[in-house]
Structure 1
Amino acid sequence: MNALESTSTRPYLIRALYDWCTDNGLTPYVAVQVDETVQVPREYVKNGEIVLNISFDATSSLKLGNEFIEFKARFAGTAREIMVPVNRVIAIYARENGQGMAFPVPVTGAPAPKPSPLTSVQAAGTSPEQEGKVVQLVNPDSAGEPTDPQGEPPKPPSGPRPALKRIK
């Protein structure tokens, strides 16, 4: 199997950072670029993005799959079914300190994967060249590098603002 045939690293990194957050008592948030393939409450979408709390306390029946993140959550007291294609996740980070990871923004208009438990394909919207690039969020006070304006994820609700540092 060569790099072009391999599956996307994005779902594995999301699961790893989710585990890191929960193991350290932090609250995992995901930033999602919303399009017609994303099933979220549209009234909470701002500038084409939504930030979701995916902690154990905020969700029910959470499934972090290779193609989709699925769970049930309450929004203003109303239970909602949430389904996010993994390729639409643009960042996962801890609410308390902003540490996490950002991903390349999906190409607009790219087809989303169809829900199928038997499919194992690279996430739509990311080319093999983009998939190899990983972006790490770092605290700008400790990094000494400027913030990357092209791929900055949404700010966490409180705490220090994360900056992006590309790892090659």
Structure 2
Amino acid sequence: MANQVFKGRYTVDKGQDVVVFLIGMRINQWWAVHKWLPVFLAMPGMIRELSINKQLGCLSMENFFSFRTTLLLQYWRSSEDLRQYAHGQAHLKAWKNFNQKIGNNRAVGIYHETYVLPNSHYESLYGNMPVFGLGKALGSIKVTPQADSFNKRLNKKYTEEGKSR
């Protein structure tokens, strides 16, 4: 079902606030594999943990890769859930290993950004797409006349009987 394309236009069923979290790494020196590979390999265990243990608060995630940079886009139930995970066992171990092995070495960079979005401050539109992004995290509904424009989706709470997908 993850790759099933849903014909038509869909939007997010806006019923809750959401936290958007971007995290990733950038390979600054390709030849320093011994520096960047451990950073790259630290993430799959945490992704698996978050995928299996939904009670931790991660609603959904998407991975993106480019030539030098990885990006993991996550949607969280709350900033408190994200903070608790950041101070939990798996993340603290990865962070400690990073600081011991990499620290300020320029071979690899890391980043994260956090956005706390009240439900009145986001909108989305998916056309002929598989379940994706915020729609995957919060659920999606078919676009109706009450939600057929950017302004309507952004400024109004709307629901439909049951989720379309």
After TM superposition, the score normalised by the length of structure 2 is 0.26
After TM superposition, the score normalised by the length of structure 1 is 0.26
